[in-house]
Every structure is written in structure tokens, then in C-alpha cells.
Structure 1
């Protein structure tokens, strides 16, 4: 039984409509499910308490949204259901942005007031954005970029303010820039799957970046036995809490810079160099070569995954 059937069972088929009529649609309170299915319930058939509950569970639609397809609905069909065409393909060349970016979002709590969240997002961006909901917990912001996208500090500030003002600890996942006429449905799906994987393994979540999480997403497709054996193969059975290994990880994250590593790890420069030399001595791998360093970085990450699991 789908959601609409359940609604009909609860309120009675006579009181529920799924096909708005120009002459009678004002007699109904209209809602949209997470799958963008529209239904209306006769206003005289529901109490105020029932209406408030429905607004928490579904998206309440204004009367002027009922008869005309909304931009959000078109984008939902295209991105989440892979139906229809890229909505940008219907715009004139003059009105197209230079590029676009998807900023996915997720909260462990239900958004009881989606409009409040959308208003906050629009206030922060100070430019046209489209908020498309996938459920009462998650969705995506489509950022139209004319010159430069908002930077990391701006997005972190936005996340903090929303947490403080709306009491929602929202995780944002920032995608890369695309041409507005690209195969956005495909690229969105890859980002969305990567986001879901990142949510399942990240302990601290606020702002995540596709460019940083994609590598880990790819590694998750390795067979479990290979994920367990590769770290031992390259790291000579070092443990995750080994100080040499932790220093090596920071060294790789600091672009192979010993001075930056010593500052980040609060270690003397000579201590850092000693541990790097010790690692090379034990494994026979020279971290200053890009390909070798990349392999070790992946091996350390796999070791972290194995330990979490």
C-alpha cells in the first residue's frame, strides 16, 4: 500500500483528491509526499491537530502551487527519479548561469517547517538558489554561479547559524561545479551516493566536500578481504595508533612539507624527520614520490575503515 492509499484509508476516499480541479481545489488542503506525489484533503474533513501533523510529515503546498508544476517538482523528477529533461535546457542562453553546484544536506531530525529552512538558505546566499527536498530530512540546494561560488568559511558559518537558530544540526555536502547543460542527473546521482557513504562513516559531520570524499567512496567498493589485507601489505602490520603512522599521515596531508607537519603535529622538526626515515626503513617506500605517497595514504585510510568496522 503506497502513501496515498494510506491517506485515503485514514481520511476516506471521498475526502481525498489527487487530481486538482480548477473549480474545487480551494476546498482542499494540499500536500506533497517525499516522492512529489500531490494529494489534497477536504478542509472540513480534518481537524487543526491533524493538519499540523500532516504539515510535519509532508510538504504543505500553497494554493498557487497546485495547478502549475513548480521548479522544485521539475528538479525532483530530473534529479531523484531520473525523469524528464534538464530544466536548464529550457532556459535561454542569456539567462543561464556560468556554472552550477549541488550542495546536498541531511539532518537526523525531521524538518517540521521546510519553508523556514528554505528562507534561511535564501537569506544566506543572497542570490537565486533552488531547494529540492527528497524527504523531510534531506534534499539538495542548487546553487547558480555567475562568478565565484561561496567558500568554505561562508558555508561553515551558514551551518553554525542554522544549528543555532533552527535547532537543526545539518550536514552539508558540497559538490563540484558543472556546466548547467551537462548531464546533471548522472553527476548528481554519483555525488548523492558518495554523500550517503560519507554519512555512514563520518563521526564528525558539518561540511563535507565531494572532492575529498570521492576517493574514500571509490575505496568502499573494494572487497572486504582486500580492504583488510592491503594495509598490512603496505604498512608492515603497523597499528592505527602507531606514532610513526600518525606522523606519516599528517606529512601526506601537509603536502610532504616537514615544517608544516611539525607544526600540525606539535613535534620538533627532527622528530618528524626521524619518524619519516623510520617508516621508509621499515617499508622500503619513499614518501617523497607522489605515487608511493598516494598508495600509503590510501592504505592508512583503509586501515582506519577496518578499525571502525
Structure 2
């Protein structure tokens, strides 16, 4: 990709990073390579495309160091450190993602509206048109309906088309850096093929991901909460029978020879741990595909051994 950009922009392109050179737009690839392109050589469409493909360094760095906790999150997610942000009482985190069709004239007001809607989240801009929100209290996280209401309000207030995506519940531990990196790649791939939806959950977009970017289909993109749950044999068997009986709780309980209340207890336990309400068809489809993905990976490991 960089070689193509170099040939296309020629002398307007450079890999000699100079943060003081404000005559260029600076970008960074996922593997850390930095490059700049003269602002006068870029059309608005080209700039928007580059902002979608790469991290905009100048814009990103201008906005991240305005609080201690934001510095710690930035260091953990982007730098060569495994030091978790210092947070008290946080065991679970969820990421929300947003994509704007055009850049905002007043991003500060946009951030204030997000903070007011969520209640003190951490917001990072990846470029002038997309970013993500860290919800450090996901037990109070928005439902899809509530997030959709916020997106609609922001669309009306700022006169810009916005698409939002709700990530998985993830453990607040050292694996979170890798989980975020995988999930962000998946969300970007889902976004490329899901422009009709204003708001979509990771679970709803997962089948689309398997079609658009099958190379990303790896158990590592899945929440540890989900992986642990389906590795419990009793829970796995309960889910499989529930799915085979078209999410019919009464029939499932009968097939499992247990009381309906016992089945409901197991389902509630799964929902509470993973944040996935498997009583909906789209979420049940996601869990079914996730189980197949995990089983395929495990069978390959056994075969290789």
C-alpha cells in the first residue's frame, strides 16, 4: 500500500517523519510506519480515504494527553507497555466505535455530547472521521436502542451521517490490548459492508465479517467471557439444545429433562457473564458461529499435535 502511495504522490510523499511540519498530513499504519503527504496534494476525498485506512497522527496526538487516565489508556493500547490503566472497581470494559461521513467543524462539542450521553467515558479519535469510546462501566452500558437514540441525536445536532458499532464485553486484564486490536480490525471490516445500518452490534455484524474478511475469523477476536462459557460442557450442551429447538425455552427444558426455571437460570447466567442476549435470533446466530469457530480451531490444534 505504501509503495502505491509513494508512486502516486511522488515528491509530495515522505517517510521522514517531522511532527513540526504542519504542511503535511501525517499518518501511521497498523504496524507503526509513519508517512506524510503534502496537504496541497490531497483532495478532500483522498484525505477522507486515508483517514479511514490509517491513523491520523497529528489529529490523534493533539487530543490524547488531556487527562492522566487518557494518557494511561493511550500508553496501554498503542505503546510498547502492558501496564493497565489504574482504575478502581473495574473488571469489564466495552468499546463503542463511530464513523462519520464527513469531518466535524466542532469536534469538542461532539465529545461533550458523547460524554454527557455515556457518563464520563474515554474517547479517542483515530482520524477526523472515526474513533472509539471506552466504557469503563459496561454494566451500565447502553442497549442498542439507547445507543441508536444517541447516534440519532448527534446526527441531528451536528448535521453529519454517523454509524455506530457496539463491541463485546471484555475482561479488564492484560489481554485487553490484543482483544481491542482484533475487534477494531473486525469493526472496520464490518463497516465497509454495512452502510445501511445506523447502529450495529459486533454480534450482528459477525456473519458479514465472515463473508467480507474471512481471514479475520479467529477465536482470538472473541471475548474471553464467551470462550470460557462455551467451554463449560453443561452450558455448551444447554446452548446447543436451545438453538436446535429454535430458542423455544419450554421445548428445550423438556429435551434437557430439567425444569423451565432451571433452564432460565442457565440462560440468565450466560447472558450476565457474556453480555449476549441469546434469546434474540441475531445473537443466537453469532454464538452458534462462534462455537463452530472455536471447535474448528481446537480440532486443528489436536490434529497438529
TM-score by length of 2: 0.50
Bigger Rg, structure 1 or 2: 1
TM-score, normalisation: structure 1 = 0.49
